[in-house]
Every structure is written in structure tokens, then in C-alpha cells.
Amino acid sequence: MHRAAVCFTLCLTLCLAHTAAAQIYPNRPLRMLIPAGSGGGVDTVARIIGTPLAAVLGQPVVMENRPGAGTMLASELTAKAPPDGYTLLMVTNSHVINAGIHKNLRYDPLNDFAEISFVTTLPYLLVVHPSVPARSAKDLVALARQHPGKLYFASAGTGSGTHLAFELFVSLAKIDAVHVPYKSGSPALVDLSGGHVQMMISNIINCMPYVRNKRLVALGVSSAKPSPSFPDFPTVAASGLPGYDASAWYGVLAPARVAPEIVTRLNREINAILRTPDVREKLAAQGADVAGSTPEEFAAILRRDLQKWARVTAGLKLQTQ
């Protein structure tokens, strides 16, 4: 009986300490892990969100670029961080893509994380070198069918979102094209603009400068619906490949077991930030469509996309140990 009382008292003390910590949160700087180097799409979105988040929380939000292992390094660091709300991850759809490729991840992509909020969707852009005689997705499909195995497409790396988005294109179009993986999207775009490869489905933030200065030609956006940020670009589905839909997205995760009060606070603040005109304008300028969600809605998106990309990777036999 005495032992039971001691256990009850200990549990009650821990619960009260947990609640007290949540009530005074935050009382020191936070860090937001970014699973890529500086200057790319996820880095840009994280900084657009992080600055106003620091203002409303009253504490700095330190941006920590942790590229490596196809975004898995940042995910693993987040999963193993203390669940105190001081470590956040600006996650991309590569988080769930990796689950279909790597059988022995050192973290569970769903159960080791607390969903905070969906942030934004970002269509990829189907681009070709100007020398390629195609000005629509339909033209590109026809050209690839005329020259099977002769056209090369770049990606940000094997198993990356840009890789799988093009593999989905290849599958639906029933064409034969050669994959050329790079270490990231930036060198892939450099080689594409130099004519060393012919085509790519790229992060729209990264490739728009090349399109604007006419070093690349955009054939369409990858989303099922036209992008509000780029209404002049047709969808790939409408311009020659019905049923095609493959967009990037970004959201915020924390380690699992973060106090519900902290999750609620962060979700409320991030969604309020996403409704501000300044942030909406900044995201729109990057081609990103503002989303926002409850934690439960974001969790459903993670589960849905994990299943979707697992089917694609299974067809490609990309799984590793």
C-alpha cells in the first residue's frame, strides 16, 4: 500500500512538472532543423515561418541546416531530441518517401513524431532544356516515345521527391527515360541548363530563376490543380498526362510525446502566421500555396502520402536495407 502511494505521488509530481513546463513554454530559444542546405525551397519556407514565430513566442527560433542522407539525418535528430518543444523540424514530403525506400530507418516516420501543422504545398515544375523540341507535356511524351532510352532526366538524388515525381511521369506516360541522380537539386539544374541532361521535374522555388532568364522552358506544374501562384502554367495532367499529381509539401514536426499544450500552442501560432498577408505574399512569391491544418489533419496527410509513395517505390525496386 505504501509502495502504491509512493508511485502515485511520483506520477502526480511528474505530471505537475510536465504541466508547469508547458505553461511557461517557451523560456529559452527554440531550434528548427532544416533537412537541406541554405537557399533551397525548404530552407526558404522555414525562414519565412521562423521569423514571425520567434516574434509571437518571444524567443529566438534558431535555424539549423542539417542536410544529409536524403533528409533522414534531420528527421533522426528530431526523433531523438528531448520531447520538450524546443526542437522542431521543417519537414518535406521526402520524410514519407524515405519510409518506402529504406526498410530499416532508425526512426518511425509516424510514431516518433508529433505533428504540429501542415504549412504549404509547392508544385514541382516540369522543365526542359530549350534545345528539346517540346513545349507541352504531350509533346515531351511523344518525343520520348520516338526516342526510347535516349532522353535523360535529372533529379536531386535517388529516391528524392524530384526523382519519384519524374518516375511517376514515366510510369503514367509509359516511356523509357534514363535517370541521372545528383547530390541535390542545385547541381542538377546547373547541368540541365547546360544541356548535359534534357529534362527534370524540379522544386519550383529552385528552378524559377532559370525559367525567368530563359535558360529552361517550363512545360507545366505537377499539381492536380493549377497553382494560384503561377496561373499561366498549365498542369501536367491538363497538358498531356491525365491523372498526374505529384506536389511537394512542407510541415512542422516535433519529437513524439511533446506536451499536448505545446502542440496546441505551436499549431495555433503557426496557423495564425500563415493567415498574415506578409507571410502569404512571401510564400506566394516563391510559388508556394499556403495550407495550414490541425495536427490531426497533418497526420492524415503523412499517412496518405506514405502509402502513395510506397506503391511507387515498390514498383521501382528502390528499397534498401
Q: Is 237 within the bounds of a domain?
A: no
Shared domain check, 103 and 31: yes
Shared domain check, 108 and 9: yes
How confident is the model over 43-68, as a mean pLDDT?
96
Shared domain check, 253 and 112: yes
Domain closes at, from 221, 239, 269: 221
Q: Is the pLDDT of residue 258 over 80?
A: yes
Q: Is 276 within the bounds of a domain?
A: yes
For the domain that residue 145 is a member of, what is the CATH number?
A: 3.40.190.10
Q: Is 270 within the bounds of a domain?
A: yes
Shared domain check, 34 and 14: yes
Shared domain check, 215 and 159: yes
Shared domain check, 188 and 261: no
The letter for the amino acid at 278 is D
Shared domain check, 71 and 20: yes
Q: Is 100 within the bounds of a domain?
A: yes
pLDDT of residue 313: 83
The pLDDT tens digits for 73-125 are 999 999 999 999 999 999 999 899 988 888 889 999 999 999 999 999 988 99
Percent over 70 (pLDDT), the chain = 91
Shared domain check, 115 and 12: yes
Domain count, the chain: 2
Of 124 and 19, which is predicted with more confidence? Answer: 124
Q: Is 234 within the bounds of a domain?
A: no
CB 244 within 8 A of CB 126: no
Q: Write out the residue range of the structural domain in which residue 216 sits.
A: 123-221
Shared domain check, 195 and 99: no
Q: Is the pLDDT of residue 2 over 60?
A: no
Report the predicted TM-score, pTM, of the whole model to 2 decimal places. 0.80
Written as one string, the DSSP assignment of 271-313 is HHHHTSHHHHHHHHHTTPEE----HHHHHHHHHHHHHHHHHHH
The region of weakest confidence among 38-42, 144-148, 238-242, 243-247 is: 38-42
Distance CA 180, CA 247 (A): 20
CA dihedral 142, 192, 153, 67 (to 10 degrees): -150
How confident is the model over 253-266, as a mean pLDDT?
98
Q: Is 202 within the bounds of a domain?
A: yes
Q: Is 37 within the bounds of a domain?
A: yes
pLDDT of residue 16: 46
- Chain centroid to CA 158: 16
The pLDDT tens digits for 286-309 are 888 899 999 999 999 999 999 988
Of 70 and 30, which is predicted with more confidence? Answer: 30
pLDDT of residue 28: 97
Shared domain check, 133 and 104: no
Shared domain check, 69 and 23: yes
Q: Is 239 within the bounds of a domain?
A: no
Shared domain check, 113 and 152: no
For the domain that residue 295 is a member of, what is the CATH number?
A: 3.40.190.150
pLDDT of residue 36: 87
Q: Is the pLDDT of residue 14 over 50?
A: no
CB-neighbour burial class of residue 1 (10 A; exposed 0-12, middle 13-18, buried 19+)? exposed
Q: Is the pLDDT of residue 18 over 70?
A: no
Domain closes at, from 203, 221, 239: 221
CB 204 within 8 A of CB 123: yes
How confident is the model over 258-273, as a mean pLDDT?
98
